A and B are shown apart, each in its own frame.
Chain A
């Protein structure tokens, strides 16, 4: 049974039909990437999974259990963590407080502490700056904080929305390494990326979205070869 499954999901913002029948699956332990042009509906897909957006039609399953319609805070506690697009951190809270907020829905003090250590091992920079306010961190540090905070929910499935957005090439490299490490530790990852080449290089499988629909899905290596992807997203001709 896939850990995450979407079946013919339709989501709307008012009258705007953002997702027009999305079906996708993510298996336990995979990295799956979702690529597509601006406005294709990638963020909307993630928001639908995490309960911030409720689909009008179709279903979302977590390990076979239907979760669409549940409020976001319940879905978090069921094990879906997310690092939202655009580094939405609490800019007036300190790094530490941000991370603590990530563990909000948990009660296991021991586990929280060890996860905090874990996050600080992954991102030593955050440890140095733990009492600094989120808003004064550099862009890259904010991205690390957003990811660290998502990890503090101890997710089984981690939804990452453009974790490399606006980062210097070296940092992009680091972030992708961390994503791979996390995955090795057993976290299943659904990754939305503009940087299609990078994303496909670490993913097992990928989906290509256009205007609210999935137009292509395959093994990551096959997608890298495909005509469409090469032209539209890898900037080759």
Chain B
């Protein structure tokens, strides 16, 4: 796109002026990002975690990535093509970005009082920014790193797509291993025979240098190999007789299921806890995805169904002496009631909002969610629901004498729930009802004229979404053993909505991916927890700009957002990557 613009500019001089001003612009943006990261305290907080032991920490890496991003986007947008232009303009963008950080270092050094305004502009931050060299000596490496990473960013943009992808994968694998090293190490230590490999890869804080290099090379090679040979393998697979293809397919499914079944044993307690939390969000996301993704009804009060499921189970099972009404029942007896009451609430919410559309629907459902929370919190119902103290002593589910005691056991309960929900969602999506939802989402009036019963179609969406929410809430209650009204606030609805949007509205694998990214990652990186909401916001904004269809988009959603390009519809994250790569190559 930009290449053609550039070509139209009449004189070469003008062209290069434009390219440099583009580089300047993205340098300024990259610098602002770096400055922001430093001043909100992320750089300092993350600096305690080494990605590679004693070589690079996460805080510094964030700054480097800002420079790199500046160089990358600058070259992508400027349309520079000769190696000299790319290197010089990329480096220039990175340099401009690093000037912000250099200036910040000078300011912190020269005006100690700055801390009264920017509380994070501390001496510790100064040490990190200047590589412990202080001002002025440390300014040189700051600017140098800007130049180097900006140039690298520029280079990345012009690499052949296959090479670029392999490099990015390799870097990401190193990053992920580096970030999760604590957990990975603890987990790997369960297997003594892996000890040499473990100590080869990990040091006490971060990856070892050789470990990081090895990981990088291995991932790079694997990715290259797959790109070269992947098509061949796929072609060979297609040539197989259908019978064998099916067999392979089943084998793959059986393997995945087996893997899912033994996962808690493999990963241990902490990971299982994370998986359980991710699972709860997958369940919630699958439910909300039906309402928002399939039927196009924007529901901001989804947390209400979660709360109703949780409180139903709490009331029916709690052994607390304060629960004199119905407590003491087993989980399995309470579960159907939890789902039933959630569905009932879904229908009760659905009826008054049948005629309400779009923005107004969002507001009404938002209110519904708050109403449920306030009811639970009310003094009036305090004798029954416990008010702000909540309900405690909720027992764990049992099957026979097997207790779903901790995360490693509860995992199976959630897995079953998610499996069921995913199965139902997949089946219903391709059913008559699913098509009716699709029409409803597109255009309510025409859907009605086509003979779709709007009332029952909408109510079914609310009811089914609510059922999954209730199921999730029920498991949540017995997992925590104690529930408070404050667990069921608006933020939870927003989080679930973010999972659905980031994953890709209407896409079932998208929900899983969205929950893994938005719930799993922050759980694994405790340093992130302070910045969790900020990162959510940033992720949403970036997604809307770069990839509005979500991480793993649903087919028709992708079409809608790329209507201008009538290309063959691609599916799956890799296919979409290819599209981006092609755009990059063309632009």
Whether the pair A71, B449 counts as a contact (CB closer than 8 A) is: no
Q: CB-CB contacts of A80-124 with B at 8 A, as 1s and 0s?
A: 001010001111110001001110110000000000000000000
Interface size class of A (residues with CB under 8 A): 20 to 34
Q: Which of A22-30, A131-139, A193-201 contacts B (4 or more CB under 8 A)?
A: A131-139
For A7, list chain B residues within 8 Å (CB): none
Assess whether B443 is interfacial by the CB under 8 Å rule. yes
Assess the B452–A91 pair: CB atoms within 8 A: no
Q: Is A72 an interface residue (CB 8 A)?
A: yes
Quick check: is A189 within 8 A (CB to CB) of the other chain? no
Q: How far is the CA of A15 from the CA of B445 in the complex (A)?
A: 21
Q: Indicate if A77 sits at the interface (CB-CB under 8 A).
A: yes
B449 touches A104 (CB 8 A): no
Task: With both chains docked as a complex, state the minimum distance between the C-beta of A148 and any C-beta of chain B, in angstroms.
Answer: 12
CB B521 to nearest CB in A, in angstroms, measures 31
Are A84 and B449 within 8 A (Cβ)? yes
Contacts A133-B563, A136-B563, A136-B566; is A71 near B439 (CB within 8 Å)?
Answer: no
Which residues of chain B have C-beta atoms less than 8 A from A52's C-beta? 445, 448-449
B122-152 with Cβ < 8 A to chain A: none
Answer whether A92 and B559 are a contact pair too, CB < 8 Å, given A104-B436, A132-B566, A136-B566. yes
A82 and B449 contact, CB distance less than 8 A = yes
The answer to whether A153 touches B450 (Cβ under 8 A) is yes
Among residues of B, the one whose C-beta sits closest to the C-beta of A153 is: B451
Q: Is B453 an interface residue (CB 8 A)?
A: yes
Contact assessment for A76 and B563 in the assembled complex, using a CB-CB cutoff below 8 Å: no
Does B195 count as interface, using CB distance less than 8 angstroms?
no
Q: Does B446 contact A (CB under 8 A)?
A: yes
Q: Does A50 contact B (CB under 8 A)?
A: yes
Q: Taking CB as reference atom, which chain B residue is nearest A152?
A: B450
B439 contact set on A, CB distance < 8 A = 90, 93, 101, 104
Residue A125 interfacial (CB < 8 Å) = no
Asked if A73 lies at the interface with its beta carbon under 8 angstroms from chain B, I say: yes
In the assembled complex, B432 has its CB within 8 A of some CB on chain A: yes
Counting chain A CB atoms within 10 Å of each CB, the highest count among B447, B449, B455 belongs to B449
Tell me whether B566 and A84 are in contact (CB under 8 A).
Answer: no
Residue contact B451 to A90, C-beta cutoff 8 Å: no
Bound-state CA distance A105–B448 (Å) is 11
Tell me whether A205 is interfacial, beta carbon within 8 Å.
no
B379, CB-defined interface residue at 8 Å: no
Contact A104 B435, beta carbon cutoff 8 Å: yes
**Does A10 sit at the interface, judged by CB under 8 A?**
no
Contact of B451 among A100, A104, A135 (CB under 8 A): A104
* Contact partners of A73 in chain B: CB under 8 A: 448, 451-454
Main secondary structure of the interface of B (DSSP, over half): helix
The verdict on A89 contacting B446 (CB below 8 Å), with A71-B453, A104-B432 known, is yes
Q: Residue B556 at the A interface, CB < 8 A? A: yes
Query: Within the assembled complex, what's the spacing in Å between the Cα atoms of A89 and B556?
Result: 15
B287 contacts the other chain (CB 8 A): no
The verdict on A213 contacting chain B, using a C-beta distance below 8 Å, is no
The one of B432, B438, B443, B453 in contact with A88, judged by C-beta atoms closer than 8 angstroms, is: B443
Interface check A42, CB cutoff 8 A: no
Known: A73-B452, A82-B449, A133-B563. A93 touches B442 (CB 8 A): yes
A54 CB-CB contact with B under 8 Å: no
- State the CA gap A50–B445 with chains docked (Å): 12
Q: Which residues of chain B (517-566) have a CB below 8 Å from chain A?
A: 556, 559-560, 563, 566
Question: Which positions 19-69 of chain A face chain B at CB distance < 8 Å?
Answer: 50, 52
**Is A92 a contact of B450 with CB atoms below 8 Å?**
no
CA distance A153 to B447 in the complex (A): 13
Contact string against B for A residues 200-211, beta-carbon threshold 8 Å, 1 for contact and 0 otherwise: 000000000000
A47 (CB) vs chain B CBs: closest residue: B449
Q: Residues 165-209 of chain A: 1 if any B CB is under 8 Å from the residue's CB, otherwise 0?
A: 000000000000000000000000000000000000000000000
In the complex, what residues of B have CB within 8 A of residue A82's CB? Answer: 449
B442: chain A residues at CB < 8 Å are 90-93
Contact (Cβ within 8 A) B556 A104: no
Rounded to whole Å, the gap between the CB of A73 and the closest CB of chain B is 4
Nearest CB on B from A67, distance (A): 14
Shortest CB-to-CB span from A123 to chain B, Å, is: 18
- Residue numbers of A with Cβ under 8 A of B are 50, 52, 71-73, 76-77, 82, 84, 88-93, 97, 100-102, 104-105, 132-133, 135-136, 149, 153
**Hey, which bits of chain B sit against chain A, CB under 8 A?**
432, 435-436, 438-439, 442-443, 445-455, 556, 559-560, 563, 566
Sorted nearest first, the 7 A-B pairs with minimum C-beta distance are: A76-B451, A105-B451, A90-B442, A92-B560, A73-B453, A73-B451, A88-B446
- Beyond A88-B443, A89-B446, A104-B451, 13 additional contacts (C-beta under 8 Å) are A52-B449, A71-B455, A72-B451, A73-B451, A73-B453, A73-B454, A76-B450, A88-B446, A90-B446, A92-B563, A101-B435, A104-B450, A135-B563
